[in-house]
């Protein structure tokens, strides 16, 4: 028998390189994204239906998912932060009134100040000033009760527009019909606008609106029976808020956001024209 020569030595196999996270090259990992198969470290792992995905693949997948919207097209509201912010501002300004008597005079709705002093900010600032404890308690209570409902229905931005434009509508009617030297304060114009909006939304959604209708009638009766109340602010806010809420709630679903933006811009334009016309008339008569 002849002996067989030993087999030639096999070359050493290089050790397999340990993969590293594609987002963090200094971190070793054996986990790969189920979608793109790139290695990902624990900080980059996102739970998927099977295994894990990387952040980029998760973001790409979410683009095709339709985001939830509020009843009338806004972003879903979990916490009514706009309502709470307005409440805080009202309380802070009311507290400031006791520290300085000048705050009321500087912020109140005063037709002569708007027309003769170019103090157009008064058309909005007056909605954050109040004439007494009962006045602010009623307005803040009403805002706390109905504000969150409307904010969740319209979303933060649309609700903010509804509130401020209702307040502006009340001030504009006061600019036209109140005596030039008569100052007015309070968020009642905005609150009446929200009352009207609740009624309109209820009708739009086929809810029972008898309760809010009775509340509006009672408050209108108080407006005209109790002396010292600005009926122009209440009526102006009610009309403005009701019309704006109706336009927002009944906007066609196709291109609804565009229609709603146009409605808000149109409401501001109409009120601005009314202010300019009235100011010109006052200046001409001065």
Cα separation, 113 vs 235, in Å, equals 22
The pair of three-digit structure tokens given for residue 90, joined into one six-digit string? 């009202």
Cα separation, 99 vs 142, in Å, equals 26
Spatial CB neighbours of 14, under 8 Å, sequence gap ≥ 6: none
Annotated catalytic residues are 188, 234
Distances (CA, A) of 187 to 17, 73, 80: 69, 26, 18
Cα separation, 174 vs 180, in Å, equals 9
| Residue position matching structure tokens 């504009």 | 172
Q: How many CB atoms lie within 10 A of CB 259?
A: 17
| Residue 46 main-chain phi, psi, to 5 deg | -125, 130
What's the number of CA atoms in the CB half-sphere (13 Å) around residue 105?
3
List the Cα angle 248/235/206 in 5-degree steps.
40
8 A C-beta contact, residue 147 and residue 199: no
Residue whose C-alpha is closest to residue 170's, from 247, 264, 245, 235 = 235
List the Cα angle 230/232/233 in 5-degree steps.
70
Distances (CA, A) of 2 to 5, 7, 8, 112: 9, 15, 18, 124
């Amino acid at each position: 028998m002849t002996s067989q020569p030993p087999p030639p030595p096999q070359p050493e196999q290089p050790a397999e390189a340990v993969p590293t996270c594609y987002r963090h090259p200094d971190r070793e990992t054996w986990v790969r994204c189920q979608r793109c198969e790139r290695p990902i470290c624990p900080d980059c792992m996102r739970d998927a239906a099977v295994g894990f995905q990387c952040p980029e693949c998760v973001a790409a997948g979410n683009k095709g998912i339709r985001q939830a919207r509020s009843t009338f097209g806004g972003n879903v509201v979990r916490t009514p932060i706009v309502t709470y912010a307005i409440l805080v501002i009202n309380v802070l300004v009311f507290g400031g009134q006791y520290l300085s008597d000048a705050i009321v005079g500087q912020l109140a709705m005063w037709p002569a100040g708007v027309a003769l002093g170019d103090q157009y900010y008064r058309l909005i600032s007056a909605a954050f000033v109040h004439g007494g404890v009962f006045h602010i308690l009623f307005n803040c209570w009403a805002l706390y009760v109905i504000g969150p409902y409307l904010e969740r229905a319209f979303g933060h931005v649309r609700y903010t527009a509804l509130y401020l434009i209702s307040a502006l509508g009340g001030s504009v009617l006061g600019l036209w019909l109140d005596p030039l030297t008569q100052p007015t304060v309070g968020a009642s114009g905005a609150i009446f606008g929200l009352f009207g909006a609740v009624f309109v939304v209820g009708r739009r959604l086929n809810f029972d609106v008898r309760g809010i209708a009775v509340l509006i009638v009672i408050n209108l009766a108080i407006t005209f029976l109790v002396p010292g109340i600005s009926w122009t602010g209440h009526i102006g806010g009610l009309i403005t808020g009701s019309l704006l809420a109706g336009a927002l709630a009944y906007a066609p679903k196709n291109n609804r956001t565009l229609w709603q933006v146009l409605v808000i811009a149109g409401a501001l334009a109409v009120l601005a024209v009314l202010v300019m016309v009235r100011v010109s008339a006052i200046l001409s008569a001065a």
